[in-house]
């Protein structure tokens, strides 16, 4: 089978984790190849996501790398088993790769945590709100490009509606609730949708009011995607050119702590729902 030309972020992550295990074992790519009955190039292609691996090959590598973390090994096996490309692949020629990577990580995450200061989180946005955001994009998007982005974002939201919805925790600042993207009617509809979504069992929505003042993480939007084990968690930061994905242990610890602190100062879910309702009635 020829190597993949465009491995997905998840396939790249699998390769990165296997490289980490090899390096912890103190083995070079050449030495690892010899243990696996392959050459150095094969190991390099595996670690850059260009070659897939069977369950047995992963377990063999883990054994050679002296890895005794069975939960991690099982999680890597699950990652390797998902070889079929997802629904987001139909957008590959239309959207930036980072957007496809975001959808892939959301789809496979065991839990999602996000914080937003100026926008409603994407998975909770209404079509009218989404349209208002993309109508104001710079450079200006063509009508077909706007429609592609709207449909893509709505399809991403399916993780909240499937039979076993992904647990979703969102922290939203009052500023995001009061920004009237699309006008008063669109904002009112968006806030009504937020209150309805906050009543779902798998969704926890908390608001940080203006009166709290300064708070950690106020300058950025953060997404935290939980993997099958902590080592496979991923952090996503919004950038003007697309999503930035982070997975270093120090980064995971930093942003998990940041979200914990933001949750601790935000209003409780019921109080947050009432707070959003009051803002909607003022419009």
pLDDT at 1 over 60: no
Give the residue numbers spanning the domain of 35: 9-81
Query: Is the Cβ–Cβ distance between 229 and 78 less than 8 Å?
Result: no
- Do both 134 and 77 map to the same domain? no
Mark which of 55, 81, 107 sits at the end of a domain: 81
For residues 138 and 65, membership in a common domain is answered with no
Mean pLDDT (whole number) for 123-147: 95
Instruction: State the pLDDT at residue 240.
Output: 66
Q: Are residues 107 and 208 both part of a single domain?
A: yes
Residue 1 lies in a domain: no
Q: What average pLDDT is seen over the chain?
A: 93
Are residue 131 and residue 55 in the same domain, yes or no? no
pLDDT at 67 over 90: yes
Whether omega for the bond prior to residue 116 falls within 30 degrees of 0, making it cis, is no
Q: Are residues 56 and 126 in the same domain?
A: no
Global pTM reads 0.92
104 and 224 housed in the same domain: yes
Q: How confident is the model at residue 153 (pLDDT cuts 50, 70, 90)?
A: very high
Are 37 and 128 part of one and the same domain?
no
Picking from 145, 111, 102, 131, the residue whose alpha carbon sits closest to that of residue 246 is 102
Query: Is the distance from CB of 149 to CB of 134 less than 8 angstroms?
Result: yes
Instruction: Tell me the percentage of the chain whose pLDDT exceeds 70.
Output: 98
Task: Indicate whether 124 belongs to any domain.
Answer: yes
Q: Do 77 and 133 fall into the same domain?
A: no
Percent of the chain whose predicted confidence (pLDDT) is above 90: 79
Min mean pLDDT across 128-137, 149-158, 189-198, 214-223 is at 214-223
CATH number of the domain bearing residue 20: 1.10.260.40
Residues 237/218, Cβ–Cβ less than 8 Å: no
Tell me the CA distances in angstroms from 103 to 6, 100, 254, 269, 274, one per residue in order. 16, 5, 23, 26, 31
104, 182: one domain: yes
DSSP 224: E
Q: Measuring CA to CA, how many Å separate 93 from each of 99, 103, 195, 238, 241? A: 12, 15, 35, 21, 16
**Residue 199: inside a domain, yes or no?**
yes
How many domains does one find in the chain?
Answer: 2
Q: Name the token pair of 198.
A: 């906050």
Q: Rounded to the nearest 5°, which phi and psi values hold at 99?
A: -70, -40
- Residue 4 in any domain: the answer is no
Q: pLDDT per residue over 154-184, tens digit each?
A: 999 999 999 999 999 999 999 999 999 999 9
| Residue 153's CATH number | 3.30.870
Residue 11 clears pLDDT 60, i.e. is over it: yes
On whether residue 55 sits in a domain, the answer given is yes
The verdict on 125 and 261 lying in the same domain is yes
Answer yes or no: is 71 within a domain: yes
Q: At what angle do helices 9-24 and 97-108 cross, to 10 degrees?
A: 70
Residue 33 covered by a domain: yes
Which of the 8 DSSP states describes residue 140? P
Using pLDDT thresholds of 50, 70 and 90, give the confidence band for residue 131: very high
Considering only the C-alpha atoms of the chain, give the largest distance between any 2 of them, rounded to a whole number of Å: 69
Q: Do residue 175 and residue 51 come from a single domain?
A: no
CA distance 22 to 62: 8
Instruction: For residues 157 and 43, state if they share a domain.
Output: no
In a domain, 20, yes or no: yes
CA nearest 14: which of 173, 229, 199? 229
Handedness of CA 16, 251, 170, 175 (dihedral sign): negative
């Amino acid at each position: 089978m020829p190597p993949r030309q465009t491995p997905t972020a998840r396939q790249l992550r699998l390769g990165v984790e296997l490289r980490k295990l090899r390096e912890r074992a103190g083995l070079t790519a050449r030495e690892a190849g010899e243990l696996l009955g392959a050459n150095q190039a094969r190991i390099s292609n595996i670690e850059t996501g260009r070659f897939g691996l069977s369950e047995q090959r992963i377990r063999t590598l883990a054994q050679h790398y002296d890895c005794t973390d069975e939960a991690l090994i099982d999680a890597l096996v699950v990652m390797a088993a998902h070889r079929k490309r997802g629904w987001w692949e139909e957008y590959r020629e239309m959207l930036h790769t980072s957007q496809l990577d975001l959808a892939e990580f959301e789809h496979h995450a065991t839990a999602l945590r996000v914080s937003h200061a100026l926008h409603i989180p994407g998975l909770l946005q209404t079509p009218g709100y989404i349209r208002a955001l993309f109508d104001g994009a710079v450079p200006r998007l063509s009508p077909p490009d706007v429609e592609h982005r709207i449909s893509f974002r709505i399809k991403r939201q399916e993780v909240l509606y499937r039979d076993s919805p992904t647990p979703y925790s969102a922290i939203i600042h009052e500023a995001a609730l009061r920004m009237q993207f699309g006008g008063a009617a669109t904002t009112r509809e968006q806030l009504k949708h937020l209150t309805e979504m906050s009543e779902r069992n798998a969704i926890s929505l908390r608001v940080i009011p203006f009166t709290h003042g300064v708070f950690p993480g106020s300058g950025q939007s953060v997404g935290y995607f939980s993997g099958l084990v902590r080592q496979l968690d991923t952090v996503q930061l919004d950038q003007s050119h697309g999503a930035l994905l982070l997975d270093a242990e120090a980064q995971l610890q930093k942003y998990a702590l940041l979200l914990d602190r933001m949750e601790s100062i935000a209003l409780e879910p019921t109080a947050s729902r009432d707070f959003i309702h009051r803002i909607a009635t003022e419009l």
